[in-house]
């Protein structure tokens, strides 16, 4: 299902936000295949933490205001219930209740609107 792509802010750099009815999709172009660690985990460049946070803020701010935006897809047995963020010099390891994908050189992750505040808190410095 396609949604509406928002105009990125300068703080988001290579990250983009697509707004859908019940979720947002964060994406970043020009990434290496290693960014997708698993279905629910990503290893992104450590210097991107502020850009990812800016994209999460944009998604939370532009959330559609209609009934049902709090609906979430029931998690599968392997879906984490909480966010974990670990940082090394080179990488930002993020695991949580999102669905991570990597095609060619584009990384993306679909996140339910109800999970954005917890991700924002986990990413905040």
SS3 122: helix
The residue range of the domain holding 94 is: 4-123
Q: Residue 78 in contact with residue 39, Cβ under 8 Å?
A: yes
Kindly report the backbone phi and psi dihedral angles of residue 93, in degrees, each rounded to the nearest multiple of 5, phi listed first. Answer: -95, 115
Kindly report the backbone phi and psi dihedral angles of residue 53, in degrees, each rounded to the nearest multiple of 5, phi listed first. Answer: -60, -40
Given the DSSP bridges, would you call strands 4-5 and 15-19 parallel, antiparallel or unpaired?
Answer: antiparallel
What is the number of domains present in the chain?
1
Q: How far apart are CA 29 and CA 50, in angstroms?
A: 16
Q: pTM of the entire structure?
A: 0.87
pLDDT in tens, 29-40: 888 766 777 899
108 or 65, higher pLDDT: 108
Q: Residue range 62-85: average pLDDT?
A: 70
Q: Tell me: pLDDT of 58 over 80.
A: yes
Q: Residue 64 in contact with residue 104, Cβ under 8 Å?
A: no
């Amino acid at each position: 299902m396609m949604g509406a792509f928002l105009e990125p802010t300068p703080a988001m750099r290579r990250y983009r936000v697509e707004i859908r009815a019940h979720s947002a999709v964060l994406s970043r172009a020009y990434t290496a295949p290693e960014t997708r660690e698993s279905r629910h985990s990503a290893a992104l460049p450590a210097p991107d933490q502020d850009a990812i946070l800016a994209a999460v803020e944009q998604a939370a701010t532009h959330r559609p205001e209609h009934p049902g935006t709090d609906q979430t897809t029931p998690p599968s047995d392997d879906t984490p219930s909480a966010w974990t963020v670990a940082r090394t010099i080179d990488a930002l390891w993020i695991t949580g209740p999102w669905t991570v994908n990597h095609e060619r050189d584009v990384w993306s992750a679909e996140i339910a609107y109800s999970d954005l505040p917890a991700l924002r808190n986990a990413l905040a410095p």
